[in-house]
Amino acid sequence: RPLPEDDPVESDVLAAAGTEGETEVNGTKVRKKLMAPDISLTLDHSEESVLSDDLDEGGEIDLDDLDTPSENSNEFEWEDDLPKPKTTDVIRKGSLTEYTAAEEKDDGRRWRMFRIGEQDHRVDMKAIEPYKKVISHGGYYGDGLNAIVVFAVCFMPESSQPNYRYLMDNLFKYVIGTLELLVAENYMIVYLNGATTRRKMPSLGWLRKCYQQIDRRLRKNLKSLIIVHPSWFIRTLLAITKPFISSKFSQKIRYVFTLAELAELIPMEYVGIPECIKQY
């Protein structure tokens, strides 16, 4: 059977055909060929161009009537050889984990601001939590707000710890900042040296730094430094450094060898003595 475009009879028949879908030619049924109208797709506003304004409202597409796949359907998916994730959670490298309210509250308790001189310093309270008892308030003596500040060396960290420098730096800021809060007028420091190993003894440089960093008002208002149970090392160290410290500060140092002797100098009602020093 000849192809439609090769048959000269077909064009005449199709042109004369009406609305019927098929026409019989020489006993053979031939389908009617529909000719597409010429449509210009140019973007200009000429008369021959088709614009959206020329379309009637009946030709608009109603998105609500479209059959779209549901959220849980597997439409538009295809099979491949790639490995499928076991869970729907996508873990990205370098992505930050969510910060819960409890973690944020815990982090808020970790850091505390202390004002030393005219500068604010952050102290890692979580790191120094086991060593906070190194400084405490021991009440008052005499008339007025003459504070008693207790410094217990037995609560200091050991020098063998890997983060010892970090601990001592934060502990230094905590001690100085707390001293600023405890002292209102004159004060004395009770230095509890008993039951302390050499690994817990702070260095001379650390102690000197503490004294230099406190406010001038605090250095002036320090009336006495009582060293309880002084070791041979402490007494030798102070004897060596005596020529390098002021005579006024040297006169404030006093050695006490027993707790009974300490009780004769200050009221012991609010002075917290660690159990290890009592046994010592």
| pTM for this model (two decimals) | 0.59
* Amino acid 94: pLDDT: 47
Q: Residues 257, 230: contact at Cβ < 8 Å?
A: yes
In a domain, 62, yes or no: no
In a domain, 88, yes or no: no
- Scored b (16 or more CB within 10 A) or e, 240-276 reads eeeeeeeeeeeeeeeebeebeebeeebebeebebbee
Six-digit token pair at 248? Answer: 């006024």
Domain encompassing residue 234: 104-279
Per-residue pLDDT reduced to its tens digit, 257-272:
999 999 999 999 999 9
In a domain, 261, yes or no: yes
In a domain, 264, yes or no: yes
* Amino acid 23: pLDDT: 54
Total domains present in the chain = 1
**DSSP single-letter state for residue 200:** G
* pLDDT range class, residue 76, cuts 50, 70, 90: very low
* pLDDT range class, residue 79, cuts 50, 70, 90: very low
Percent of the chain with pLDDT over 90: 30
- Scored b (16 or more CB within 10 A) or e, 197-232 reads eeebbbeeeebeebeebbbeebeebbebbbbbbbee
Whole-number average pLDDT of the chain = 74
* Amino acid 262: pLDDT: 96
* Amino acid 78: pLDDT: 44
Report which of residues 50 and 150 the model is more confident about.
150
Per-residue pLDDT reduced to its tens digit, 31-42:
656 666 665 555
Per-residue pLDDT reduced to its tens digit, 203-223:
878 877 887 777 888 888 999
In a domain, 119, yes or no: yes
Q: Tally the C-alpha atoms within 13 A of residue 125's C-alpha that lie toward its C-beta.
A: 13
CA 270, CA 140: separation in Å to the nearest integer? 8
CATH number assigned to the domain comprising residue 116 = 3.40.525.10
Burial class (CB in 10 A: 0-12, 13-18, 19+), 183: buried
* pLDDT range class, residue 6, cuts 50, 70, 90: low
Q: Which range has highest mean pLDDT (28-42, 55-69, 107-121, 194-208)? A: 194-208
* Amino acid 271: pLDDT: 94
In a domain, 118, yes or no: yes
* Mean pLDDT across 226-241: 88
Per-residue pLDDT reduced to its tens digit, 129-187:
999 999 999 999 988 889 999 999 999 999 998 899 999 999 988 998 898 888 888 99
In a domain, 24, yes or no: no
User: Among residues 273, 238, 233, 272, which one has the least CA distance to residue 253?
Assistant: 238
Six-digit token pair at 207? Answer: 């102690």
Burial class (CB in 10 A: 0-12, 13-18, 19+), 139: middle
Burial class (CB in 10 A: 0-12, 13-18, 19+), 278: exposed
In a domain, 173, yes or no: yes
Question: Residue 256 phi/psi, 5° resolution?
Answer: -130, 130
Count CB atoms within 10 A of the CB of residue 178.
Answer: 18
Q: Residues 10, 30: contact at Cβ < 8 Å?
A: yes
